[in-house]
Amino acid sequence: MFGNYFYNKNIRNVVILFGTVFNDIIVRRVNSSNVTQEEFRVPIAYGPAKKFLVRLRQATDTSKGKIGLTLPRMSFEFTSINYDPTRKLVTTNQFKKIHASDSSKLTSIYSPVPYDFEFTLSVMVKNSDDGTQILEQILPYFSPAYQVTMNEMSSMGIKRDIPIIFTGLSTEDSYEGEFLTRRALIHTLTFTVKAFLYGPTNDVGIIREVDVNTFNNTNATQKVGNTDVKPNPLSADADDAYGYTETHTDY
């Protein structure tokens, strides 16, 4: 039905944007004298929390290629996408830019379509204090939205401030009472990213000449005229700041 392949990487860029926001979280562990004993950045990766919990239960055995996970760590997952009619733009509007390889042409694209992207961020910790440190480095920035500038369409030079909205938090303690079971305290945060999806781009030429026939009936006198408005058609480029030559002829 559509038959026109294009791939703007809009969804991929939204996922990367979300993960990048949380890739610089620090945890510090101090002694009773409040002297820092350990400081490290919390790793984050894409995937469901259950996948990482399975690896957490595995004992480290390098001879068999088994490496158990250490906590704390974070994971995030893109869960759903929904159309947002409240942010609908005029569909006939276009963005235009000079063609990358031919300055006599323009590349155009129609207004994007608004969608809400739902994400979950899982914070997995062993110690409660590690979890509170991570949460306090995240939650104060969301009130409830946090704006991030995103390069939506690099080929068109389109940038936009994208709101990431915090929608909820739940906590689960996976410790089940067995002595051999490692404890994992999981904080699950949910977010909505207000982003857009773009359609295909099109290459269009420059309007080099406008030729208009006019009819004027004033005081019972009929006049037919022709107005020819054009820049220099031989040297006009897409980004030229040129004037117009107007010729008006009465018949």
Dump pLDDT digits (tens) for 36-61.
889 999 999 998 887 777 777 665 55
Q: Would the pLDDT of 128 be above 70?
A: yes
Report the sign of the C-alpha dihedral through residues 41, 43, 49, 53, in that order: negative
Percent of the chain with pLDDT over 90: 47
- Whether residues 213 and 194 share a domain: the answer is no
pLDDT-based confidence at residue 162 (cuts at 50, 70, 90) = very high
Q: What's the pLDDT score for residue 1?
A: 57
Q: Which domain holds residue 157?
A: 10-204
- Whether residues 137 and 68 share a domain: the answer is yes
Q: Would the pLDDT of 228 be above 90?
A: no
The enclosing domain of 145 has a CATH number of 3.30.2000.40
The answer to which of 22-31, 154-163, 232-241 has the lowest mean pLDDT is 232-241
Q: What's the pLDDT score for residue 230?
A: 67
- Whether residues 15 and 76 share a domain: the answer is yes
pTM score? 0.77
Domain tally, the chain: 2
pLDDT-based confidence at residue 159 (cuts at 50, 70, 90) = very high
- Whether residues 129 and 218 share a domain: the answer is no
- Long-range CB pairs of 185-188 (<8 Å, 24+ gap) are 185/124, 185/125, 185/126, 185/127, 185/128, 185/131, 186/49, 186/53, 186/122, 186/123, 186/124, 187/122, 187/123, 187/125, 187/131, 187/134, 187/135, 188/49, 188/120, 188/121, 188/122, 188/123
pLDDT-based confidence at residue 243 (cuts at 50, 70, 90) = low
* Percent of the chain that is helix, strand, coil (3-state, to 5): 15, 45, 35
- Whether residues 181 and 111 share a domain: the answer is yes
- Whether residues 185 and 219 share a domain: the answer is no
Q: What's the pLDDT score for residue 220?
A: 55
- Whether residues 218 and 158 share a domain: the answer is no
